[in-house]
Amino acid sequence: MPEKNCIDIKENNLLKIDNELLELLLQDKTTGRNIIWATDNYTKHGAQYAFEKPILVELITSRNGSIIKPRTQKSKAEQQKRVRQKAEVFTPSWVCNLQNNLVDEVWFGWKNAFNIEEKCSWKTIKEKISFPEAENKSWKDYVCSTRLEITCGEAPYITSRYDAVTGEYIEVPERVGFLDRKLRVVNENTESRGDWLKWAFSAVQSSYGFEWQGDNVLIARENVLFTVAEHYQHKFNENLSAQDLAGFAKIIVWNIWQMDGLKFVVPNSCTEKEVLEQDLFETRIVSKACEGCKKNNPLKHNGIYCKIKDWKKNEIVRFVDCVEGDE
């Protein structure tokens, strides 16, 4: 577990918990390899940190595991560079809360299911969450409801372990991410460890997010994993086992994935390809640009389309097909 009230989950500490945990969190389930850096912000450390290179355990556990840091702990110059290059702007937790509240208002049929909004803040409802019996909706339905954070950065809409703008740590009972809300409901409606794990797994399986930059993908995955661990600790006053952490990590690497959100492919995987063209007089090699990029057609890219897992159907699907439908 990270130090109490510490927002930065050190990769070296993950190694101490379980040798394979960090390797799990670096997996790209689409390519079968590791996620890539997908940014040039780390090239000062060497050629292995270039845009297209994979993020490897040994690259991020040197220098005391401080290579990858949350945005608030990056230098101002680096923050500004990322804003210019990828329009990276993080959302304060009170705005995440407001927007998650709007989604919940539709689901529940009433306002203030989890908290009451205040100016740039919120007041948490302390009573046990109730559910719309007239619509035959139960707490289990809520836990299993599918939610997605697009271009998720460090996943502040999924879990508000800390304010992504100020870096302020947020205690478990006050969190407002959509996974945090699901886990609060699990905490309130289960008693045994077995039941808690069953429904916490369902909560994570129904929570998704994608992001371009590799360091953000890893941080988002870490935040999702550790908000699960912190909710468990809050419920049972003990640490989640390494085996259970690995079980959640195996879900998270499917659900938090690296993707170009406009093309639905692995970042920069579209290429110009050489093809043979033949007519009556000659055969020649011609370079052809990606048709999807050329025509802005999300179904015609020659890059690597990203895959996710539909846990309810136990099927692996292309994300583009979830959005656009089959051709």
Statement to judge: residues 172 and 309 lie in one domain? no
Element (H, E) at 189: helix 178-189
Note the pLDDT of residue 133: 84
Return the residue matching tokens 């390797």.
23
Statement to judge: residues 242 and 278 lie in one domain? no
Dihedral, 176, 180, 181, 186 alpha carbons, nearest 10: -160
Give the count of domains, the chain.
Answer: 2
Residue-number span of the structural domain to which 103 is assigned? 1-258
Examine residue 266 and state whether it is found in any structural domain, yes or no: no
Tokens of 151: 């271009």
Note the pLDDT of residue 4: 62
Statement to judge: residues 157 and 244 lie in one domain? yes
Statement to judge: residues 245 and 288 lie in one domain? no
How far apart are the C-alpha atoms of 312 and 121, rounded to whole Å?
35
Note the pLDDT of residue 62: 76
Phi and psi at residue 72, in whole multiples of 5°?
Answer: -70, -15
Examine residue 267 and state whether it is found in any structural domain, yes or no: no
Domain boundary residue, one of 258, 281, 308: 258
Domain boundary residue, one of 258, 288, 315: 258
Note the pLDDT of residue 327: 45
Query: How high is the mean pLDDT in each 10-residue block of the chain (327 residues)?
Result: 72 89 97 96 94 96 79 74 69 96 97 97 97 92 98 97 93 98 98 98 98 97 97 97 97 98 96 72 77 94 97 97 72
Note the pLDDT of residue 73: 76
pTM: 0.92
CB atoms within 10 A of CB 131: 19
How far apart are the C-alpha atoms of 203 and 189, rounded to whole Å?
13
Note the pLDDT of residue 268: 95
Domain boundary residue, one of 200, 226, 258: 258
